[in-house]
Amino acid sequence: MKNGRMDESILVCVYYGPNGERLIRRGGKLANMLDCPLYVLTVDPLPEDELDIEKIHFIERWKELAKEHGAEQFIVKYNESRPVAKVIAEVARKQNITQLVIGQTAQSRWKEITKGSLINVLLNEIPFVDLHIISVSRELANQDGFFEKGIRAYLKQDREGYRLCFNHTQSDVYEGIFYKEVGTDFNNGVFKFMVNNCMMEVQVVDDYAKDFDQRIASHEGAKE
């Protein structure tokens, strides 16, 4: 908990995709500079039990990053039918937020010109809050350029190790999301999965998870 400038308080708003981590880090640096409380918020129209595994992985990673940056609270608003701006404004008022960090792509800037935007609504809803609008188009280009969109996959143990497969069977050991490297004809990339409510990832080389047993052992050792 921050004990410094309690007159300032920062809220980072994240949505699913690779840029959430960048926004949390930016908000964390700002909170560290100002020595003030940090909060992280994400909003989803679905109930918690209807989220797909990729969304769950994003949320778990964001929780880890929020904790690393000393966030006071990681807030998830599930099953929200209200406009996102209304939810953000409500949280901002409740937590006495003075600075808001939010991402905006080039596409959303065009929508702002033609139809208005989330940013404009927030300016009307919470005029007392300073907005930090972070461009995310560059980050998307960098990350999406290396991996294809994540797809549901499984790890199945055989004589050679843990093999990646895409059809669910009774012998599957782990379920997760596989991000395939762009430009490869084989299944090379990153497999992300949950172990004891913590998100882990392993490299996949030619269908097989690399150093899988060592990663699991390291995770179990860190818990003790």
pLDDT higher than 90, residue 20: no
Residue of 128, 25, 37 lying closest to 68 (CA atoms): 25
Residue with the larger pLDDT of the pair 191 and 41 = 41
| pTM tops 0.75 | no
Query: Domain spans of the chain?
Result: 10-142, 151-223
CA 38/CA 23 separation, integer angstroms: 12
CA distance 223 to 217: 10
pLDDT tens, 47-105? 888 877 778 878 888 999 999 999 999 999 999 998 888 999 999 999 999 999 988 65
* Residue 198, pLDDT above cutoff 50: yes
* Environment class of 169 (CB within 10 Å of its CB; exposed 0-12, middle 13-18, buried 19+): exposed
Fold of the 10-142 domain:
Rossmann fold (3.40.50)
